[in-house]
Structure 1
Amino acid sequence: MTTEQLHPSPDSPPQQHSSHDPHDLPGPHGSYNPRSPHDPHGSPHGGDHLLFLAEALRTFHDTGALAPSGPALVNALVVPALSRPNRPISVLEVGAGTGVVTRRLAQVLRPGDRLHVVEANPRFADRLREDPALAARRPGVGLRLSACRVEELPEAAAGPEGGGGPEDGGGSERYDVIVSGLPFTNFEPALVRNILDLYLRLLTPGGELTYFGYLGTTTARTLTSGPRRSARHRAVVRLLRRFEATYGLGERTVWRNLPPARAHLLRAPGPYA
């Protein structure tokens, strides 16, 4: 496992961050409607889509898509970082890929905030290390990259009770926000259950989690896969629906994505400080 601090460029100008807006909050009737501001940075690498496609074809089980998330889906996923308390926050992004969500988070976070990015694919991790938009983030925003799976983090190994501090590799690191880009329906149900339980352990009381799934995957899996894979897929979907029924705040269907996706917003038990 490789964990490293990514330091901002001292010559980079401060970036603007989005202020709180009531439309960023969960809306009634189980939906939420974040704003979709234009990201002035976009992708700093013209080859992001080509790299993503190459890695998807090479390791589709772990990548789970053929292209990075589009702007509308990205903005749906970063809602909790916009609807935030008036204090520094800590954010964990899991499965960053080529960094489309990472760059948006780096844009909206404020001095004193911390962003911990976890990416297991070494080629994606290398791209994140070289990303000029991340290097040019607002001074005072801490950024750490862990090139590993989320279940390999020291915080995960520490178990529910934690122990030690984040600065000495202990397990007491907790996060106000977790943004997950993992392709859950590609995994075995037991692994998905373990990851969801880990997210709940890593969140502060009242902390929020976002993740997404593509529309129509159950039908596609049934038509293109054998009975065993179809049954595994349906089992993961049932597990996710139960998790959302217990902790969910709302969901948003993003039609302007390839393919269309549904973003889910969930909250850990307990009062949010």
Structure 2
Amino acid sequence: MTVAVVTDSSSCLPVALALERNISVVPLHVMVDGIDHREGVDEIPEHVSSGTSVTTAGASPGELIEVYAAALERSRGDGVVALHISRGLSSTWEAARQAADEVGPSVRVVDSGSAGMGLGFAVLSAADSADGGADLDAVYRQAVAASTTSKCFIVVDRLDHLRRGGRIGTAAALLGTALAMKPVLHISGGALVLREKTRTSSKALNKLVDAAVVATSEVGDDSGVALAVHHMQCPERGDNVAAMLTSRIAGFTSIDVYPFGAVLGAHVGPGAVGVVVAPGRG
């Protein structure tokens, strides 16, 4: 058989794609008005990205043990590589370490240091390696390498959601709201940090595109690059950013646009747009 690949729902991989690639996806959790919803499994209310009654939680060790054990059985002992959302953004990685210890040494856990398609592209890279017949050590190395190269940029309308969820420092949040700034953020060291401030949404989106263009230009021609755009309840804005990128980056006639899932959406809020640049997937 082949090494099995596992991820969590923060990867934002479309269900059909995960099924096609035989990737197991562990749901993260969204609590709305005290009711627990499993992302990608349960129907989640549309207002998940607004209001203080919405909280999120990572996967539990028990949930992960169940998925890891099933994936290991599916691999017929070849092993499991599990890539998860950054430990700086979720408790899932720590739960994954506990679950891997319980299931055994044939399960390797990778902290992607990212989320969204920053994680998703690394998962697909690991799946490519597994499908090519690589053994557990090689798939793990590929997963780690792919996780260290992606760059993720995001613009949010307001920092309130991130501050409330503890995903960005209070000082940065107050700075953004007090001065009515439109912040451009990026993932650095596995955490979401302020990259620069702008005064309008249009300027913020232009800076977002600029950052992605520069990141793409820094990738060597031989390795290739993949791009993805995310949005939270603003498909038109996401499509506009994708169009801006295709007009400025040679070789791209279209770029896939993915909605943020409910868990990430609860933190970034409505109107958020992100861009992921993933080298090595040309």
What TM-score do the two structures reach when normalised by structure 1? Answer: 0.31
Normalising by structure 2, we get a TM-score of 0.30
